[in-house]
Amino acid sequence: MSEPVAPPEPAASRPESTRTGPGRLLVAVYGLFALSAAARAAVQIATKFGHAPVAYLLSAFAAAVYILATVALAVGTPAARRIAVLSCSVELVGVLAVGTWSLVDPATFPDATVWSGYGSGYGFVPLVLPVFGLLWLRRWTRRPGTRRTIVPSAGGAGEAAGSGMDHDPQPHGSRFRSRARSARPSEIDRQEPETPY
């Protein structure tokens, strides 16, 4: 007999993907930065690459990271979520590294990149965006799922207690005696042949 299953315990509903709720705004902002950074890097590299090659290549790299993060957040599968975490982490490290580099050695950046001055040219959004992205991904992965509770019935408990034991209609004592009798040699086998005198 199957055990009764209690209704699922109330738990926070898990979204289908990372693009639900606040994730929609996050995907939209990432998409906007992906388009703007890619267009800007393409124009700079095509028209005046020799003027500031380091800055333009970093802008192209930033655009690639934004594109990858946008696609991963929009897809929202477990594999895409791991890619999104990696993209946001690389983005945050890139903003901090390029931002510090642009302040320490401004001669290398005659033209600003998306991450120059920690994204000051874009209202520091490039610095804040990966932080929000990582927080959203962490919150999404930590949401509890729905748990099911199995409540055993009285009959089920009895069956569970008796599981693994042979069910014999005979009492244990009679069964033991019958097995002992079957194992006992017959009277004919036990008779010793008469020794002639």
Q: Please list the pLDDT of the chain residue by residue as tens digits (197 residues).
A: 555 555 544 444 444 556 677 788 999 999 999 999 999 999 999 999 999 899 999 999 999 999 999 999 999 888 999 999 999 999 999 999 999 999 999 998 999 899 999 999 889 999 999 999 999 988 766 655 434 444 444 444 444 445 444 445 555 555 545 454 555 554 445 555 554 54
Q: What angle do CA 107, 108, 113 make, to 5 degrees?
A: 115
Which tokens belong to 183? Answer: 């194992």
- Residue 36's domain comprises 22-141
Extended beta strands in the chain, E state: none
Cα of first residue to Cα of last residue in the chain, in angstroms, is 71
Whole-structure pTM value: 0.63
Q: Into how many domains does the chain fold?
A: 1
Residue 31 counted as domain residue = yes
Residue 167 counted as domain residue = no
The conformation of residue 185, written as its DSSP 8-state character, comes to P
Residue 2 counted as domain residue = no
Residue 182 counted as domain residue = no
Distances, alpha carbon 196 to alpha carbons 187, 193, in Å: 21, 9
